[in-house]
Structure 1
Amino acid sequence: MSEYGGIAMGNVLPIPGPEWCDDGGAGAISDAGGLHLHQLRLHAEYGGVVRFQLPGAGVAVSVSDPLVLEQTARIDERPASLFAFLEPLCEAGNLQVIGAEEHGPWRRVLLEVFAGRPSHERHFGEFVSLVEEVAERWGGAGGDAVLLQKDLTALSLRMICAYALGGVGVGSEVVQAEDVVDAFEVVLSGDDGTEQQTSLDYLRSTVDRVIAAREESDRGADRSDLIGALLAAGTTPARIRDTVMVTMLAAHHTTGVAVSWTLHLLGRHPEVAERVAAELDRVLGERSAPDYGDLRELTYLEMVLKESMRLYPPGPYGAREATEDMVLDGADGTYEIPAGTTVFYPFWAVHMNPDHWPEPAKFVPERFTPEAVAQRSRFAYVPFGLGPRSCEGAGLAMVEAQLTLAVLLKRFRFRPVAGHEVTPVERFVLWAADDIPMVVTPRAVGD
């Protein structure tokens, strides 16, 4: 076997990619304007499977071909180095990279609570109240612009706390939204070790107080919320704390930015926004918010949300570590990937793959009609990841996002702020630099 770019190859095609650089690939990513743009360029030039230098992982194989993604979907390991930034939140082992034997049972507990319709319904009324609080505040903005990301990530944090913490939610004496958001930002920034530790201590003590309050409540081990389910499963206190912290981090960022990007797109496509408003008027009538059962009737709203997450996936990347030698058959050829290789999933590049998404940069919600979906590989759209490491909270996130959009679009029209350029930047999630300011104006039924 020969060596090609650090990857051992057999009698199949070598994986194409750029020349190796002494800086580990950091310069190429910087020159491209970020990892996402670098990935788009690589796949445009070299095809659906590309080997490249990924800082923190050495050599990696990036896959934007949905047919190849499907062949890797069963891998249940992640490269530890790429998820080491989450270790400060985890005292009982990094939850994102724990081994498959431990990960499987823990994931089943999470799915039990996050994916259960009865659990969603139980918390739905509280979610409605939280969204309506934001709508009331925006309604009093008096024509001033609102900052979508700032307000909607705080709203998402309130929602996930209500769901995960069993009623000891944000805004109580135990949990203050702004303090929690600020603490997460400090912990993940890595700029000041002393400040990081102080913020981490605050987060841990806050969650500990919530767990203690939850244990002392009269509901016992109610499995309809995250802490109750973990208590009922006999999970250790340290693992419960870690799970709650990672869940709060992931959920309050991803759902908030998904709704923000959707409103951004609707503000630039008023004809689509009017169709959404007409659907809301037809399904809800004079009501200002949907019931849980109404969500399934809001089919066009769901298509709009999905198309928004295609263009702006909240979590733009994923990664796995091959646990055995693999042979992958793609549209461009057959390749070998040896055990231990980092397999990189550039979800944004997958969603912009022109072989599966004609005119991929266009905003076309009709891509998600049942007929259109049936004609595509199911791995052409992966906003929540894939396989046994996909997001356990995907179902809950969709409920939260659809509800939030329904309430806000029933009440308001959204107009971009003139002169403000919205620029995506790559952080823990796909963020907008300088937020997404928009002007909201009231609308009435049929208006």
Structure 2
Amino acid sequence: MREIPGPPPQADGGLSAVTAAGGLHTYQLRLHDEYGPVVRFQLPGARAAVSVADPVLLEATAKVNERPGKLFEFLAPLCEAGNLQTLPAAEHVPLRRALLSVLAGRRSHEAHFAAFTALTGELADRWADRAAAGPVELQHDLSELSLRMICQYALGRGIDDPARVVSAFETVLTGYLGRLYEHGLYAHGDDLSRAEQALAHLREVVDGVLAAGGSDLVDALVRADMSPARVRDTVLMIMLAAHHTTGVAVSWTLHLLARHPEAAARAVAELDDVLGERAAPEYADLKRLPYLEMALKESMRLYPPGPYGARETTEDLTLGDYRIPAGTTIFYPFWAVHLNPRYWPDPHAFRPGRFTAEEQAGRPRYAFIPFGLGPRSCEGAGLAMVEAELVLAVLLKRFRFEPVAGHPVVPVERFVLWAADDIRMRLTDRRTDRPPDGRRSRRPGDRGRDGG
């Protein structure tokens, strides 16, 4: 067995290296560029950590069903019945089964599709009304939309003030994520107090929604003998995961399409061909929009909403020429996996054509893992794809998107892969083919010949 390469140990447990790189996701990119597909490194909160960016080697870890408790400790305050991110396998298996029985069901997706379409149409109308006043902020508004959708789906009703809920989630994550790295920046004082107040508000919102009536999800959790506290924790965590990841994935996709006019024109042509004069697809239409799906997947490859995951080995593993002892944190650097040039030539280029059936068949199973892998992968992956494709279809059918000149779009690590100062776009209503302020519009194919 070979010794796993990696940087020399640091007295602070690797914290300064992570901070200097701007976060764990960019740190992983640097490590794998320098040391190869398997890297030993120091990770705050882990006794020993190994990062794996080779999809073939990831196969050996796919059945690991434990997560490192210390690494996910920052999410513990969101849960009163035990941190859902680190439940022992014996508790996690029945919870996962209950979640999949609802979140992964095609019939359930189809049953909620009309409500999702109505919510998306309401956002499009608001954007049309506001666009004359200036650019829209994609991440903020699309996160709100995703939150409304998951409330409709999981709870059977909406919430009165989604903007406040989105803000509260941001405050909670910012406050408690700071504790993971022990910067002191958010770990005490006013910031932590605001995080605690925001968490209290979120719990009140969930309690109010639950008290108003059950839902398929709540009923499934109750049938699985989950305690009331576990039910509430689960709903809260699903709201957290769903509203961030879906909204961010759609935002990055619109960002990339706006910067690749030929790809945008192809997506819109497909929509026009399938939908005709209709403003939104039916559920069955999603299968007839392959290029839209490919553009979404390519966006999630370049900007995976959740940039990493982690497991903890319970027994010794062999990864190629390396031995991984029990008790090691296996780090999944999704971004580094998705940019591995061995499986993704010219990895930073936006090319939806990478996701044709033929192209996908030529890559390892775990070369593309935006929702994780194995028994701790995202239970809501199927639902997220339905939501994202629907939202993209409605918005691209209604608007042309033009980036705001001079506005930088810089990805940063904030639990999800977020744009530091949002993603701002100017909109043109395709129904009139003129922007709201009367400027002459530029069609998506007028310049640029990339992104096919």
Q: What TM-score comes out, normalization by structure 2 length?
A: 0.90
Distance (Å, rounded) in 1 between the aligned partners of 2:226 and 2:22: 43
Q: 2:132 aligns with which of 142, 153, 162?
A: 142
- Measured against aligned partners, the alpha-carbon deviations of 1:299-335 in whole angstroms (never above 9, x if no partner) come to 0000000000000000000000011011111xxxx10
8 Å Cα contact 2:96/2:379 also seen in 1: yes
Q: Which amino acid aligns with 2:196?
A: Q
8 Å Cα contact 1:424/1:430 also seen in 2: yes
Residue 109, structure 1, aligned to residue 94, structure 2? no
Distance (Å, rounded) in 2 between the aligned partners of 1:249 and 1:437: 23
Q: Which amino acid aligns with 2:251?
A: S
Note the C-alpha offset of 1:32: 2.7
Q: 1:179 aligns with which of 134, 154, 164?
A: 164
The answer for the alignment partner of 2:142 in structure 1 is 152
Q: Which amino acid aligns with 2:346?
A: E
Q: 1:244 aligns with which of 221, 235, 238?
A: 235
Residue 341, structure 1, aligned to residue 324, structure 2? no
8 Å Cα contact 2:60/2:317 also seen in 1: no
The SS at the match of 2:342 is: coil
The answer for the alignment partner of 2:291 in structure 1 is 300
Q: Which amino acid aligns with 1:208?
A: D
The answer for the alignment partner of 2:436 in structure 1 is none
Q: Which amino acid aligns with 1:397?
A: A
Residue 274, structure 1, aligned to residue 259, structure 2? no
Q: 2:74 aligns with which of 69, 81, 85?
A: 85
Distance (Å, rounded) in 1 between the aligned partners of 2:26 and 2:193: 34
Matches within 5 A, 1:230-379: 230-329=221-320, 334-379=321-366
The SS at the match of 2:165 is: helix
Note the C-alpha offset of 1:178: 1.7
Distance (Å, rounded) in 2 between the aligned partners of 1:154 and 1:258: 13
8 Å Cα contact 1:264/1:416 also seen in 2: yes
Distance (Å, rounded) in 2 between the aligned partners of 1:89 and 1:36: 23
The answer for the alignment partner of 1:24 in structure 2 is 13
Q: Which amino acid aligns with 1:75?
A: V
The answer for the alignment partner of 2:111 in structure 1 is 122
Q: Which amino acid aligns with 1:244?
A: V
The SS at the match of 1:54 is: coil
Distance (Å, rounded) in 2 between the aligned partners of 1:43 and 1:74: 23
Note the C-alpha offset of 1:195: 2.7
Note the C-alpha offset of 1:46: 1.3
- Measured against aligned partners, the alpha-carbon deviations of 1:114-162 in whole angstroms (never above 9, x if no partner) come to 0001100111100001000110111121161000001000000000000
8 Å Cα contact 2:6/2:35 also seen in 1: yes
Note the C-alpha offset of 1:182: 2.0
Q: Which amino acid aligns with 2:426?
A: V
The SS at the match of 1:362 is: coil
- Measured against aligned partners, the alpha-carbon deviations of 1:370-394 in whole angstroms (never above 9, x if no partner) come to 0000000010000000000000000
Note the C-alpha offset of 1:445: 9.9
Residue 50, structure 1, aligned to residue 50, structure 2? no
Distance (Å, rounded) in 2 between the aligned partners of 1:159 and 1:432: 22
Distance (Å, rounded) in 2 between the aligned partners of 1:27 and 1:83: 19
8 Å Cα contact 1:88/1:187 also seen in 2: no
The SS at the match of 1:426 is: strand
Note the C-alpha offset of 1:203: 1.6
Q: 2:388 aligns with which of 379, 383, 401?
A: 401
The answer for the alignment partner of 2:194 in structure 1 is 195
Distance (Å, rounded) in 1 between the aligned partners of 2:164 and 2:140: 13
The SS at the match of 1:16 is: coil
8 Å Cα contact 1:143/1:440 also seen in 2: no
8 Å Cα contact 1:285/1:445 also seen in 2: no
8 Å Cα contact 2:94/2:224 also seen in 1: no
Residue 381, structure 1, aligned to residue 368, structure 2? yes
Distance (Å, rounded) in 1 between the aligned partners of 2:396 and 2:278: 12
The answer for the alignment partner of 1:8 in structure 2 is none
The answer for the alignment partner of 1:213 in structure 2 is 212
The SS at the match of 1:96 is: helix
Q: Which amino acid aligns with 1:162?
A: Q
- Measured against aligned partners, the alpha-carbon deviations of 1:360-411 in whole angstroms (never above 9, x if no partner) come to 0000000000000000001000000000000000000000000000000001
Distance (Å, rounded) in 2 between the aligned partners of 1:31 and 1:196: 25
Note the C-alpha offset of 1:179: 2.1
Greater displacement, 201-210 / 58-67: 201-210
Residue 76, structure 1, aligned to residue 26, structure 2? no
Q: Structure 1 segments of 4 or more deviating over 6 A?
A: none
Q: Which amino acid aligns with 1:149?
A: Q
Residue 38, structure 1, aligned to residue 27, structure 2? yes
Note the C-alpha offset of 1:27: 2.0
Note the C-alpha offset of 1:170: 2.1
8 Å Cα contact 1:310/1:351 also seen in 2: yes
8 Å Cα contact 2:31/2:39 also seen in 1: yes
Residue 228, structure 1, aligned to residue 219, structure 2? yes
Matches within 5 A, 1:158-169: 158-166=148-156, 168-169=157-158
The SS at the match of 2:70 is: helix
Among all aligned residue pairs of Structure 1 and Structure 2, give the percentage whose two residues are the same amino acid.
65
Distance (Å, rounded) in 2 between the aligned partners of 1:25 and 1:210: 42
8 Å Cα contact 1:350/1:380 also seen in 2: yes
8 Å Cα contact 2:55/2:337 also seen in 1: yes
Distance (Å, rounded) in 1 between the aligned partners of 2:203 and 2:270: 44
